[in-house]
Amino acid sequence: MMLMCPVTLCSVLLFVGTVTGKYSATCRSQPVSAAEGDDVTLQCLLHPPVNLSAYTLDWSRLDIKELGEVHVYRSKRDDPTAQMVRYKNRTTLNHEELSRGIVTLQISSVQPSDSGPYKCYIPKLKAGCTINLTVVEENQQSTTGPPEEDEPNNPNVGNRNAARPHNVTAAVVTLYVLVVLVLIQICMKRLRGRTEQHLETVSDGSERKIMSV
Q: Which helix (H) or strand (E) holds 212?
A: helix 155-212
Per-residue confidence (pLDDT) for residue 175, from 0 to 100: 80
Which of 122, 127, 6, 137 is CA-nearest to residue 57?
A: 122
User: Which one is predicted more confidently, 5 or 202?
Assistant: 202
Per-residue confidence (pLDDT) for residue 159, from 0 to 100: 55
Q: CATH classification of 22-140, choosing from 2.60.40.1840, 2.40.50.140, 2.60.40.10, 3.40.50.300?
A: 2.60.40.10
Distances (CA, A) of 130 to 26, 45, 121: 8, 11, 9
The structure's pTM equals 0.57
Q: Kindly state the DSSP code that residue 67 receives in the 8-state scheme.
A: S
Distance between start and end Cα atoms, the chain: 167
The three-state secondary structure class of 93 is: strand
Task: Give the burial string for 129-163 (b: 16+ CB within 10 Å, else e).
Answer: bebbbebbeeeeeeeeeeeeeeeeeeeeeeeeeee
The three-state secondary structure class of 41 is: strand
User: Which one is predicted more confidently, 130 or 9?
Assistant: 130
Per-residue confidence (pLDDT) for residue 205, from 0 to 100: 59
The answer to which of 18-27, 66-75, 204-213 has the lowest mean pLDDT is: 204-213
Per-residue confidence (pLDDT) for residue 23, from 0 to 100: 94
176-209 residue pLDDT tens: 788 878 888 887 877 777 766 665 665 565 555 5
Are 29 and 98 contacting, i.e. CB atoms less than 8 angstroms apart? no
Are 81 and 93 contacting, i.e. CB atoms less than 8 angstroms apart? no
Per-residue confidence (pLDDT) for residue 129, from 0 to 100: 96
User: Which one is predicted more confidently, 77 or 138?
Assistant: 77
